[in-house]
Chain A
Amino acid sequence: MSIRRMIRGRLTGMWALLAALALVLAACSPAGESGEEAAAGGEEGGATAGGGEPAEAGVFVHAADDEPLSLDPAQVEPGEGGETMILQSYERLLEIGPDGPELVPGLATEVPTDDNGLISEDGLTYTFPIREGVTFHDGTELTAEDVKYSWDRATEMDLPEGAAGLLADSIAETTVVDDSTFEVTINQPSASFLRSVVTAMVASVVSQDAVDANGGITAGEPNEYLQTNMVGTGPYRQTAWNRGENLQFEIFEDYWGEPANLDLRIEVVPDPDVRVLGLRAGEFDMIETDPSFVGDIEGADGVTIYSEGLLMEPIHIGFNLNIPEGELPPEDTIPADFFHDRRIRQAFNHAFDYNAFLQGALGGYGDFNPHYIPLGMFGADEQAPVYSEPNPDEAERLFREAGVWDQGFTISVIAEEANLFEIAALVLKDSLEALNPAFEVRVVALAEAQFDEAHASDPIPYAMWVKNADPFADPDAYMQAYIHPEGEWGQIHGFAQGYENPEEIATLIEQGATELDEATREQIYSELQTLLYEDPMWVIAAQEGIVNAHRDNVEGFVLNTLWPRPNVKFALFDKS
């Protein structure tokens, strides 16, 4: 036999074998098997993946863009992926309802008000009647002791990456009156305590028995068990966390309320293109996405795009009024008190090309909010003046008045690389340099870890920076964090040195924090927003619009911007 014939025969056999193997794999694959089962029960809606058909009946599959860092309410960072998981598996005394922002009872049976007598006359003591017959995922019964334990645990651990400060800063004492009654005494009357603190993920109730059996509480140290395991009372019980792949949840059969309709699997899919492909293939029922991918999804078979509402995390550019001497990059030419002059800050706000950022980076999905309450939040005054259009003439006038027009300046702004923040910095650069060639803006794009380290410095060794606000549920939280001259950022960034009247700003913020009458509170915030327009401490590039994409067969879809991203509770969903 010739070599040729022999090799031909062998290769033919090899290719035939490979082809047969491929066919066997495709036909005998588990999806193939489930496809047969689903075809038999076609009304249930399951089918093989591919061709836009839903992949799995009985399971809701959501594709998240990042993996959580911790599943422990005492450790989870506000705005981080862990809050999404905690929202599904844990509960709090009160919740923001699906139609929010109104509060609804959670593990407490009533929302404390003056009318029902659950708020003391001095506004300092809140009484929460605890729901009976509630079971944790480990089978233990919920009592008021678990609530006190959960809150005290967070404050005792006081982890720097967590939000224990929300509890520690406002609460003077927690008391168990009896098994069904929990009492909280706060430091001062607060209009925001229920919405900002009680509904926050850090106030989630964990099983005391589970914690005690798994490492207990150590001040300053994370609990490794609760970092990776959730033991709450919510409609979903966590069954697995396959790192880098997915988190799996099953319907909690003993849930006290309306049970979930479907099991849940949250796939970790960092690549946005793969998320979009997976949605189109029917592999995912819902995905996290952003405006830049709407073009890839629009018109795809079986896909619905939901684009109402705005994220509660305005993208802002900060002014450093506390510039350390000799610490700025050598290229920067501005003096340390550059931003103390509010005309400079106003001029930056007038110069920024808002439409370029909104239409470009955000694809038109977004809006511009007043300083500093996001649109959609209680207290946001839609009549308040807002920086939303570039006004180069006004910017030039202000820069001239401030005496920097002719000499110009060079300034550095830091931002996280390869995301919206870097684009916002570039828009600022283009806006200012187009206004006056003597102005130079250096965009310093840093890796996330480097940016976080620079931003955590006190003072920050840069003149400006770009990031987004943390999401909150009450306007007071934004004011305290981003406006108050003596707030945490106010002190670090030196707001008191720039406000025309810092005492007036502080007084109004404190009044808004303690005013219990909503109409009066709204007026206070309206006045603040008008003042802050004239005395801005930020350039607010935009408030990003919400873009959610899911399969057409998803039923019961509801989204609330006051819930942690992606702003949904999966227990409410079903599939046709």
Chain B
Amino acid sequence: MQIRDYVLRRLMILPLLVVGTSIIVFALTRVGGSPIGIYLSHEMNQAEVAQLEERFHLNDPLPVQYVYWVTGVLRGDLGWSGVAAAPVTEVFPAKLAASMELAVASAIVAVVLGVALGTYAGARRNRLPDHLTRIFSISGASMPLFWFAILLLIIFWVNLGWFPIGRSSPELFARIAHPTGLYTVDAVLSGDMTALLDALWHLTLPALTLGYGATAIIARMMRSSLVEELQEDYVDAARAKGLPERLVLRRHARRNALIPTVTVIGLTFGFLLQGTVVAEIIFRWPGLGRWMADAVLRGDQATIMAYVMFTSVLFLAVNLVVDVIYAYLDRRVVLGT
């Protein structure tokens, strides 16, 4: 099947999958009881609770509540977040942008470090540089993320004062427009170099923390794939033809070694997106992960519903993209079979 036809077919199935997921998730959020708890305070009495239930339609039958939710979604209203004390639709985009920015920055760190270390180690198989590189990359996966994050904070924030906490310097953040919600991109669009530097400066510690943790997976896959490829006959043939070694590596071995590595990179990005919650809490990053953690702990069902639906759609979309990239990299793969 042509890639275009395959993509169209998958996009047509997507809405059905999303609706089915929404029904299941909505029902599950009500299994534990009414989600009214997040809107209550300690001193409310029954009459006041009833007032709140009426405001949020929580006194209606479950199917009616689902219809209210669906009609709200179609109007762009995802409900009221008890945790954020604001409409979900107002808070979600900004927090999503913050998390995406952090996840992308972490992914860049992980990919650059992982591919570089994996390539370096793969070309020096079983020698000291290979062992040291593997220790360095695996330590990132072994260290508890929260411990590493606090360690970096203590060293670079408290003691040295080299890097800050949070997402931005408030004055700089306030002086530029935010059409995308991505501080780095908005700074570039505004032409404000100081704001761009501020964004990168604040991104450094959390991105390094998260990215380092994901480096090991990519480095390991890249190393072992490259070792295999360097032993293939076509590499010997390329050398025998007189190709420079850098071209043998770049044009042949590394390209093929990247095929399984790209799959891992795709999975790693999903891991990074989920793993931002710890980094967001420690580094005070105003992202989705921290908000979701609070929402789950405090039973904020409106927020949980929005997040689950978003991640479902994202998961389906990312899988589609990975399938297409796979077919592009390996011409032997035929989509739709």
Contact pattern, A 386-415, Cβ under 8 Å of B = 1, otherwise 0:
000000000000000000000000000000
Contact at B49–A456, with CB atoms within 8 Å? Answer: yes
Contact at A50–B157, with CB atoms within 8 Å? Answer: yes
Residues on B with C-beta less than 8 A from A216 are none
Of the listed stretches B9-17, B269-277, B279-287, B320-328, name the one at the interface; the rest are far from the partner chain: B279-287
Residues on A with C-beta less than 8 A from B112 are 14
Contact at A1–B245, with CB atoms within 8 Å? Answer: yes
**Given A220-B55, A246-B170, residue A228 in contact with residue B86 (CB < 8 A):** yes
**Given A67-B85, A274-B165, A453-B40, residue A1 in contact with residue B286 (CB < 8 A):** no
Of the listed stretches B19-27, B69-77, B118-126, B307-315, name the one at the interface; the rest are far from the partner chain: B118-126
Contact pattern, B 149-160, Cβ under 8 Å of A = 1, otherwise 0:
010011001111
User: Which residue of chain B has the shortest Cβ distance to A29 in the bound complex?
Assistant: B201
Contact at A456–B40, with CB atoms within 8 Å? Answer: yes
Contact pattern, B 193-216, Cβ under 8 Å of A = 1, otherwise 0:
010011011001000000000000
Q: Name 26 interchain pairs, CB-CB below 8 A, sorted by A.
A: A3-B123, A67-B85, A77-B41, A160-B51, A221-B55, A227-B85, A240-B170, A242-B173, A244-B291, A245-B166, A267-B166, A274-B282, A274-B284, A278-B165, A448-B297, A449-B37, A449-B40, A449-B300, A452-B42, A453-B34, A453-B36, A453-B37, A456-B48, A456-B49, A458-B45, A470-B43
Contact at A271–B281, with CB atoms within 8 Å? Answer: yes
Instruction: Count residues of A near B (Cβ-Cβ below 8 Å).
Output: 68
User: A residues touching B (Cβ–Cβ < 8 Å)?
Assistant: 1-4, 6-7, 11, 14, 22, 25-26, 28-31, 33, 48-51, 53, 67-70, 77-78, 80, 160-161, 220-221, 227-228, 239-240, 242-246, 248, 265, 267, 269-271, 273-274, 277-278, 280-281, 283, 447-450, 452-453, 455-458, 467, 470, 488, 492
Complex alpha-carbon distance, A422 and B135, angstroms: 43
User: Which of A50, A80, A243 is within 8 Å of B162, CB to CB?
Assistant: A50
Chain A nearest CB: distance from B68 CB in Å? 16
Complex alpha-carbon distance, A102 and B311, angstroms: 55
**Which 8 A-B pairs rank lowest in CB-CB distance, beginning with the nearest?**
A50-B161, A449-B37, A160-B48, A244-B286, A449-B299, A452-B40, A69-B85, A453-B37
Contact at B244–A1, with CB atoms within 8 Å? Answer: yes
Contact at B284–A3, with CB atoms within 8 Å? Answer: no
Chain A nearest CB: distance from B102 CB in Å? 13
B window 150-193: CB within 8 A of A: 150, 153-154, 157-170, 172-174
Residues on B with C-beta less than 8 A from A67 are 84-85
**Given A269-B284, A270-B281, residue A281 in contact with residue B161 (CB < 8 A):** yes
Contact pattern, B 120-160, Cβ under 8 Å of A = 1, otherwise 0:
10011000000000000000000000000010011001111
Contact at A3–B249, with CB atoms within 8 Å? Answer: yes
User: B residues touching A (Cβ–Cβ < 8 Å)?
Assistant: 33-34, 36-49, 51-52, 55, 82, 84-86, 91, 94-95, 112, 116, 119-120, 123-124, 150, 153-154, 157-170, 172-174, 194, 197-198, 200-201, 204, 244-246, 249, 281-282, 284, 286, 290-291, 297-300
